Amino acid sequence: MTIQKHPDYSKETERLSYTKGYMQAIIQLAELNQGQHKTNLKEAMEGIGDSDSSLNYTSLLATSNFLNIAEGELKHLKEVLPRPYFARINFKAADKQEEEILYIGKISLHEPETQEPIVIDWRSPIANVYYDGRIGDVSYEAYGEEYEGNLSKKRQYKIEDGKLLDFRDVDLTTTDELLQESLAGKADHRLTEIVSTIQAEQNQIIRADLNRPIIVQGAAGSGKTTIALHRISYFLYHYADSFRPEELMIIAPNRMFIDYIGDVLPELGVNRIRQTTYIDYMQEAIGEKMKVRSPQAKLIKLVNGEWEDPTFEKWVSGFKGSLKYKKLLDRYISRIRLELCPKDDFMLEKYRLVNGTKLKRLYLTDYNYLSFQKRNDKIKEVLKSHLRQKKKMILDNIQKKYDTMLEQALFHVQNKEKRKQRVVDVMEWKEERFNTLQKEAKTAVSRYMKPLTPKKMLTYYKELFNDANLFAEVSEDILSTQQSERFRLYQQDLLAGKEFEVEDLAPLFYIKHKINGIPKEKRARNVVIDEAQDYSHFQLYALKAGLETDMFTVVGDLAQGIHSYRGLKSWKTVTEKILPRSNFMTLKKSYRTTIEIMDLANATLQLLKQDFPTVEPVVRHGQKPSFQSFEGEEEFAASVLKSVEESREKGCDLIAVIGKNDRECAVIYELMKKHSTEPVQLLLEHEPMNKGHLLIMPSYVSKGLEFDSVIIACYNDLYEQTELDVKLLYVAMTRAMHELHLISPDREKLLLHQLKEGILRP
């Protein structure tokens, strides 16, 4: 049955026209108000069309709230106008007689007089019934109360450019056809919002307790990144009066990711949130110029087999990311704390203004919740206060002393000339004494505080490794003598070259937090961390400490932990020691790939014999992955082109050739330029993608991205059955939405010979 023949079609088109007309009126009125043409409000109604005559525009004109719409809200209203809503529910509350028909969209709209909803926001409490509720008796929570009712209808709409293209009802016996259509669509260069297709398990994460941190272990393609961004939108909706968007921060894995999410943030109404990468944020917060090696540098050398001593290099990275290293630094920081602690009496000449014992107690006890610098800032104010109070008393005492001397000169010196000279001398002495004291008073506080001024963070960090005895003491019972000295020399050589590794940023940030404190304008009250499996325990701990909040949304996938030599191997320490208040939730379903592609990826991951959860693909079938062998460069290029052509015939636009490493990809790039006219782009770093190009990139660069079709090409460098290689292969496989092709001289180089028969296309 065509949609036009549906019995509700006429009512639905009228409702859409009504809603659009209402929104257009608000937009026109708001624009007039912004242009200060309030006298022409009547003209704002003209041109809307006779079909909208039923709208109560008179009441709209009388409502000044609509005239005062904020510029950001106006922009958002214009953006949603082509698609005012995407769903509806028929809901009868238990305490009401009549059933309500509620339309769900990205904004809230109400009749100004009756406050009856025209559109309800997807983030509103009652909208949860649409995402979580089944037809029948349901309940939802709002403002700490539970409300019950009956859900009799869930309807989805397909609206584009303001036109109703389709609608369908969803119940227990039907699959989510809108989701299926969405998943069957093409990949894009940018992330998009999914408010119309949020699934129950995703919705639970979005709406999980907003007053607790959350950790999400999400399978490849589970939508964890998108869900994290939707949770931010949900958070700001409920805490709009308490939080500004600028107080939230997204820490992205790279700048390409920031570009990738660039479109979805405005769509969700959260575009003013700070977006940064881990390295950029750390450098900004530490506030000192430093050269940081590329975070991929170690990984590339490891993948290429270029590490001189892989065991030691992995150990160094792992140790610098461990809480044991934090313990070592805490000992060092404790020494710095005592160095910066005031001990001496605060004196003005021979007068003791503040007892040193009192100042030490203030520093070590009363102000111990502050950074060392802020403790001394408060002590500085204490000194200034005592100086102001006691300087006058001291000057009064000096005045009395010289008044007495003057009195003695006037009444006890008999000789007139001597008396006169004595008076002059006393006056000069007093003036000189006053001047000296005033001069001393001006610099007394700064002179006292000067030895208590912290050094630069980089200086402190370098001094730790330049002093062999010091490092041996702070590393005692944490490292063996041999480990301690070898690690110290490694760090000493590294810093002597004026370079830092990404693993050094957390220690520097932590030291900065303890000594100076992270400036308020550099902190955030709520933080999203994506690709968290690549963070170390110390990185997460330092962020929590320095930002002075535990309100984190942490999303990642241990199966994609290609930096596991320095990153996370499990969530246990994070949930127990770093974010103990957190909710831990999992996303097992993959919405990206077909069942056939996911079967291959799961089978590959199982080669590691580790306890990774099996990913459950949503019921969407496609062709099995294909395998082609080749001999020689011409046959290789022909195989790639054949896979590209086959993918395009299936409607795939965004196609990526994924090689194991940068060295392999450089070879593939040259071969494709030599043997084809296909426009190709080599992506060795995280940089913008050129549309219409065949993309060639290493496996580790592809992480976090998705493509219509993926060609995993093995020309020279094979994959071995190691943790890193298997994870890289798994990452590459799970980038594909619809088509996956594998090209290699033989199956062994892609570990395919170890997999069961029938998993690949014959």
Binding site, annotated residues for ATP: 218-225
Binding-site residue ranges: 218-225
Helix, strand, coil percentages for the chain (3-state, nearest 5): 50, 15, 35
Measured in whole angstroms, the distance separating CA 708 from the mean position of its chain's CA atoms is 26
* Amino acid at site 761: R
At 622 the three-state DSSP class reads coil
Q: Phi and psi (nearest 5°) for 643?
A: -65, -40
Residue 433 C-beta-side C-alpha neighbours within 13 Å: 17
DSSP 56-93: -HHHHHT-HHHHT--HHHHHHHHHHTTS--SEEEEEEE
Whole-angstrom distance, CA of residue 115 vs CA of residue 118: 9
**Angle 186-724-708 from CA coordinates, rounded to 5°:** 5
Q: How far apart are CA 8 and CA 423, in angstroms?
A: 110
CA distance linking residue 221 with residue 640, whole number of Å: 25
**Please, what's the b/e burial string for 483-501 (b: 16 or more CB within 10 A of its CB; e: otherwise)?**
ebeebbeebbebbeeeebb
Residue 240: phi and psi, rounded to 5, are -60, -30
Kindly write down the DSSP assignment for every residue of 318-376, as one continuous string: HHHTSHHHHHHHHHHHHHHHHHTS--S-EEETTEEEE-HHHHHHIIIIITTTS-HHHHH
C-alpha triplet 356, 359, 360: angle, nearest 5°: 85
Q: Are 52 and 28 in contact (CB under 8 A)?
A: no
**Would you tell me the crossing angle of helices 372-412 and 416-449 to the nearest 10 degrees?**
180
Contact 456, 373 (CB under 8 A): no
DSSP 304: T
Q: Phi and psi of 749, rounded to 5°? A: -70, -20
Long-range contacts of 146-150 (CB under 8 A, 24+ apart): 147/93, 147/94, 148/93, 148/94, 149/91, 149/92, 149/93, 149/94, 149/96, 150/91, 150/92, 150/94
Residues near 45 by beta carbon (within 8 Å), at least 6 away in sequence: 25, 28, 57
Contact at 8 Å (CB) between 727 and 561? yes
User: Distance between CA atoms of 408 and 466, rounded to whole angstroms?
Assistant: 64
Torsion-angle region of 229 (φ positive above 0: left; ψ -120 to 50: alpha; else: beta) = alpha
CA neighbor of 195 nearest in space, from 212, 209, 207, 213: 207
Which residue type is seen at 417?
E
Helix (H, G, I), strand (E, B) or coil at 93: strand
